[in-house]
Amino acid sequence: MDYLEFMFAGFAVFWAGLFVYLLMLQMRIRSLQQEVERLEERLAEQEAGDRRTTEARPVAGGRPAAPATRQSPAPRT
């Protein structure tokens, strides 16, 4: 009464379970990394937009350096 095949099946199931769990965890980490990259891109776009707006603002009573993105006139100082 040895049932070697059952022993191997038990060990195989144990290691396969661990492997599948680690694989799922790896997929989760990869999806989080992709989310971070998307956020970084969106932040870079926003910062670029902010920079354009700042450059378009009038400097101490002068006219705007670049065409203003806003419709309303620039405030007078």
Partner 1 sequence: MTAGLASLAARAYGLRWRVLPPLTGVAMLAMLIGAVLAAPREVIEGEVQRLMYIHVPSATIGMYGSIGVVFVASAMVLWKRDMRWDAVARGAATVGVLFTALTLLTGAIWGRPVWGVYWAWDARLTSTLVLFLIYCGYLLIRQIADPHDEQTARYAAVFAMIGALDIPLINMSVRWWNTLHPQPIVVRPLGDEALPTEMLIVLLVGTVAISLLVAWLIVLRTETELAAQRIHGLRAGVDRREAS
Cα–Cα distance between 3 and 28 in angstroms, integer? 38
Cα–Cα distance between 2 and 35 in angstroms, integer? 51
42 near partner 1 (CB under 8 A): yes
| C-beta of 42 vs 70, nearer to partner 1 | 42
Tell me which residue has tokens 């065409």: 67
Segment interacting with partner 1, rule: CB under 8 A, options 6-14, 59-67, 68-76: 6-14
Identified binder of partner 1 from the candidate list 23, 25, 48, 65, rule CB under 8 A: 25
Provide the minimum distance between the beta carbon of 45 and partner 1 in the complex, in angstroms, as a whole number: 9
Cα–Cα distance between 60 and 62 in angstroms, integer? 6
